Copies of this chain bind each other. A is one copy, B any other.
Amino acid sequence: MSSSVQRKRIRKDPAARRAEIVDAAAAVALTEGLECVTLRRVAEDLAVRPGLISHYFPSAEGLVAEAFGSAATGELDRLLPARPPEDAPSRHLARFLARTSGEEYDVISRLWINARHLSRYRPVLRDRVALQESAWRGRLETLVRDGVDTGEFVTDDPVAATVQILVVLDGLGAHANTATPERPAAVLRMPITTAERELGLPPGTLDRTTG
């Protein structure tokens, strides 16, 4: 008779239920942080009992790692999707760098800071972070190599160029959780400057393009 109690059980296909759990966990990871990905929290969001989450993830650490992996993969796809043939590599790179400037990118920075810190205590998560790192690096590296192939980019070490861009992005994202004093324009432009320098592009090539 109590109003808020839902006694009806909904039995789902294990694969679908698992995906549902991972999605909910990833959402929590993005909005609240990885330490908020708990059995109780995820169960509450899905209106099930905590024990059910344990059934799919015998160790909570596995769920946290999965949540991070899912969230990071999703953000990578939004930030740096596969390049359609009609986009020139330089244009695609410019779009990517433009997306890393907005406040929207802070969410991603927060997630990475979170994961890199929590990796200190969670070996399973640490492995997942390493995996995601190589995924992000790999996708940017592919774009760089594509640009070299078309002749737009010039570098004798695509890996070094790629990693240098990522290091700068990591450095700029480090402050996503703290109120940062207004930064000089030269600092805000560091990703573009670095990319243009390492890829042999004339200054200004990677600035925001229309559309």
Listed in ascending order, the chain A residues whose CB lies under 8 Å from chain B are 33, 110, 112-114, 116-121, 126, 129-130, 133-134, 157, 159-160, 163-164, 166-172, 174-179, 181, 183-187, 190
Cα distance, A172 to B126, chains bound together (Å): 17
Contacts of A121 in B (CB 8 A): 33
Q: State how many angstroms separate the Cβ of A186 from the closest Cβ of chain B.
A: 4
Q: Are B190 and A167 in contact (CB under 8 A)?
A: yes
Return chain B residues, CB-CB under 8 Å to A130. Answer: 178-179
Find out whether the CB atom of A174 lies under 8 angstroms from the CB atom of B177.
no
Complex Cα gap A185–B185 (Å)? 28
Interface SS of chain A: helix, strand, loop or mixed? Answer: helix
Most chain B CB neighbours (cut-off 10 Å) among A172, A175, A178: A178
Q: Are A159 and B133 in contact (CB under 8 A)?
A: no
Residues of chain B with a CB closer than 8 A to A119's CB: 177-178
Residues on the B chain within 8 Å of A167, using CB: 168, 171-172, 174, 187, 190
Q: Are B168 and A187 in contact (CB under 8 A)?
A: no
Offer 13 A-B interface pairs, CB within 8 angstroms, sorted by A: A33-B121, A113-B174, A114-B120, A116-B177, A117-B118, A120-B177, A126-B178, A157-B184, A159-B184, A166-B171, A167-B168, A167-B171, A171-B172
Smallest Cβ-Cβ distance to A167: which chain B residue: B171
Contact A116 B175 (CB under 8 A): yes
B178 and A133 contacting across the interface, CB-CB below 8 Å: yes
- CB–CB A164/B178 < 8 A: no
CB neighbours of A134 from chain B (8 A): 181
- Interface contact A33-B120, CB-CB below 8 Å: yes
CB–CB A163/B177 < 8 A: no
Smallest Cβ distance from A12 to chain B, in angstroms?
A: 33
In the complex, which residues of chain B have a beta carbon less than 8 angstroms from the beta carbon of A183?
163
* Residue in B closest to A33 when the chains form the complex, CB atoms: B120
> Which of A134, A172, A177 has the most chain B CB atoms inside 10 A of its CB?
A177
